[in-house]
């Protein structure tokens, strides 16, 4: 048992069903049933890990929420993790708390990304993780519960609740769980973690915020270049229909395609270099997908690349044999839902049992600083107003109009305008410092 007592609030319930009803009512789950986080189970996890309850696993960089060992253990138990699974959860959360990961931006974005966990090293086999058939889907306890534990921590500790901090327009199923292992044993290539500087034989997890997996098929070739052109088409389609901006992509290559590349002598670096050169398009292509308003005379030949450098592409060996995807051979079938709606049904009264389960509160114990409005300026005349551009399209036009209005109609003394270097991240300190002499600040979003 940990030396220090657990500090989370305790709730009593008669059985696991009532525990789940309690957690559903409070919004403490991802919508699926959870295992009861009892004091004994949480203490066992902490004892196996050798962690005190108040040990800080990480701190989210923007809202400064602390991820304590106790809260991580509670949510891991809820997700169904065994104690031996939790070190992977902890390593993933620590990586996500690095400022470079942009946890706040990826969680709050309307784009709906989810953290994908890619596990390397001996721990994959020790935990029985899946790296082959159905790798992104059901069937592996470790894959499912580790990924789910990360999501529950995001919900309960970081406040990533749909409609609140989580502003995803659509989201995707990876927001339940999104964890795979690399198939190191049946791959001709260096594992991802070793490529990124982790010594051989060391367990590691790589975390990447991304949209849902997109499957491609080309079973009619044995030429690596032809296969890569299919990958190029998928990447360019993403640039046309989703985001034009370059960044990281993850390419998960199953065994049959890996064997094709290996026979031709292609290594991961060859694949990265080829896709870097080929996955690019001209602005004029936007006309083909209904975005013609973004194309103007003089910028039609502007070129965009999917990758900033070849190293932006993460090549992962995973998945089972086969290159064939399911074709639409099944017709659409529908069936009427029979029976009365539960609201119109009468049920016998519940039989109350004696209280028998004590479960712990999975939510953050950190008190968020309460935001308060600054005093209203008595007048704008003679004031200095800061205007912060978040860097998205249309912001500059809006702020041009606003600045002219402030100067001409409201007779402000001055306007300080700055632009964030990245719309998804907080403004850096040097940008904020430029507004110190301002009486008020207006932050503009250009969606």
Q: What is the pLDDT at residue 348?
A: 58
The Cα–Cα gap between 311 and 68 comes to 33
What interhelical angle do 86-96 and 141-156 show, nearest 10?
Answer: 50
- pTM for the complete prediction? 0.86
Q: Which residues pair with 38 in a beta bridge?
A: 359
The Cα–Cα gap between 258 and 340 comes to 52
Q: Which two tokens stand for residue 380?
A: 């704008």
Terminal-residue alpha carbon distance, the chain: 51
Rounded (10°) CA dihedral 167, 168, 170, 176: -120
Give the 3-state secondary structure percentages of the chain, helix then strand then coil, rounded to 5. 35, 15, 50
Q: Are 37 and 357 in contact (CB under 8 A)?
A: no
Q: Which two tokens stand for residue 263?
A: 């026979």
Q: 336: which DSSP letter?
A: P
Q: CA geometry: angle at 156 spanning 151 and 159, to 5°?
A: 95
Place of tokens 């702020």: 399
Q: Which two tokens stand for residue 112?
A: 């709906």
The Cα–Cα gap between 61 and 339 comes to 50
Classify burial at 54, counting beta carbons within 10 Å of its beta carbon; exposed 0-12, middle 13-18, buried 19 or more.
middle
Place of tokens 């190191």: 184
Classified as helix, coil or strand, 369 is coil
Q: Can you give the pLDDT of all 447 residues of the chain as single tens digits?
A: 566 799 999 999 999 999 999 999 999 999 999 999 999 999 999 999 999 999 999 999 998 999 999 999 999 999 999 999 999 999 999 999 999 999 998 998 888 899 999 999 999 999 999 999 999 999 999 999 999 999 999 999 999 999 998 999 999 999 999 999 999 999 999 999 999 999 999 999 999 999 999 998 888 889 999 999 999 999 999 999 988 889 999 999 999 999 999 999 999 999 999 999 999 999 999 999 998 888 887 888 999 999 999 999 999 999 987 654 444 455 667 676 876 655 555 555 566 556 689 999 999 877 655 556 778 899 999 999 999 998 887 888 899 999 999 999 999 999 999 999 887 788 889 999 999 999 999 998 876
Q: What is the pLDDT at residue 324?
A: 43
Q: What is the pLDDT at residue 2?
A: 61
In 317-424, where does DSSP find H-type helix? 395-408
The Cα–Cα gap between 244 and 236 comes to 9
Q: What is the pLDDT at residue 154?
A: 97
Q: What is the pLDDT at residue 403?
A: 94
Strand ranges inside 137-266, DSSP E: 179-181, 204-210, 249-253
Q: Which two tokens stand for residue 92?
A: 């993933």
Least Cα distance to 154 among 113, 111, 205, 100 occurs for 113
Domain boundaries, the chain: 1-213+353-369, 218-317, 384-444
Collect all residues with Cβ–Cβ distance below 8 Å to 260 and sequence separation of at least 6.
Answer: 222, 224, 227
Q: What is the pLDDT at residue 244?
A: 82
The Cα–Cα gap between 270 and 279 comes to 14
Q: Greatest CA span in the chain, whole angstroms?
A: 76
The Cα–Cα gap between 362 and 139 comes to 26
- Kindly give the pairing relationship between strand 56-59 and strand 66-68: antiparallel
Q: CA geometry: angle at 326 spanning 324 and 332, to 5°?
A: 170
The Cα–Cα gap between 98 and 277 comes to 30
The Cα–Cα gap between 189 and 267 comes to 7
Least Cα distance to 383 among 437, 443, 431 occurs for 437
Count CB atoms within 10 A of the CB of residue 203. Answer: 18
Q: What is the pLDDT at residue 219?
A: 85
Count CB atoms within 10 A of the CB of residue 114. Answer: 25
In 53-100, where does DSSP find H-type helix? 69-79, 86-96
């Amino acid at each position: 048992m940990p030396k220090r007592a657990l500090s989370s609030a305790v709730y009593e319930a008669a059985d696991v069903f009532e525990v789940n009803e309690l957690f559903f009512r409070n919004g403490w789950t991802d919508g699926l049933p959870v295992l009861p986080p009892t004091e004994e189970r949480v203490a066992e996890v902490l004892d196996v890990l050798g962690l005190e309850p108040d040990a800080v696993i990480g701190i989210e960089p923007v809202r400064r929420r602390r991820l304590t060992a106790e809260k991580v253990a509670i949510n891991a138990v809820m997700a169904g993790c065994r104690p031996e699974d939790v070190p992977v959860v902890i390593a993933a959360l620590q990586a996500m708390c690095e400022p470079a990961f942009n946890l706040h931006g990826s969680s709050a974005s309307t784009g709906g990304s989810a953290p994908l966990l890619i596990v390397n090293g001996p721990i994959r086999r020790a935990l029985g993780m899946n790296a082959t058939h159905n790798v992104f889907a059901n069937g592996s306890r470790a894959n499912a519960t580790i990924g789910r534990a990360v999501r529950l921590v995001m919900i309960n500790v970081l406040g990533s609740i749909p409609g609140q901090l989580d502003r995803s327009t659509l989201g995707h199923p990876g927001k339940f769980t999104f964890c795979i292992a690399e198939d190191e044993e049946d791959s001709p290539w260096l594992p991802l973690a070793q490529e990124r500087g982790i010594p051989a034989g060391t367990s590691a997890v790589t975390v990447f915020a991304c949209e849902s997996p997109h499957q491609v098929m080309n079973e009619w070739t044995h030429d690596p270049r032809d296969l890569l052109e299919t990958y190029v088409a998928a990447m360019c389609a993403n640039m046309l229909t989703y985001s034009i901006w370059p960044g990281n992509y993850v390419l998960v290559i199953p065994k049959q395609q890996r064997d094709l590349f290996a026979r031709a002598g292609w290594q991961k670096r060859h694949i990265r270099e080829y896709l870097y050169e080929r996955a690019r398009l001209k602005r004029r292509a936007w006309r083909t997908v209904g975005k013609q308003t973004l194309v103007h005379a003089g910028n039609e030949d502007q070129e965009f690349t999917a990758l900033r450098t070849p190293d932006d592409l993460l090549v992962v060996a995973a998945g089972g044999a086969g290159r064939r995807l399911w074709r639409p051979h099944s017709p659409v079938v529908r069936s009427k839902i029979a029976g009365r709606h539960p609201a119109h049904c009468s049920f016998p009264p519940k039989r109350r049992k004696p209280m028998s389960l004590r479960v712990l509160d999975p939510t953050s114990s950190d008190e968020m600083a309460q935001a308060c409005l600054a005093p209203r300026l008595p007048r704008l005349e003679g004031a200095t107003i800061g205007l912060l551009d978040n860097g998205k399209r249309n912001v500059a036009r809006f702020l041009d109009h606003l600045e002219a209005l402030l100067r001409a109609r409201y007779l402000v003394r001055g306007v300080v305008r700055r632009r964030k270097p990245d719309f998804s991240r907080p403004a850096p300190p040097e940008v904020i410092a430029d507004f110190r002499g301002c009486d008020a600040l207006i932050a503009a979003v250009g969606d």
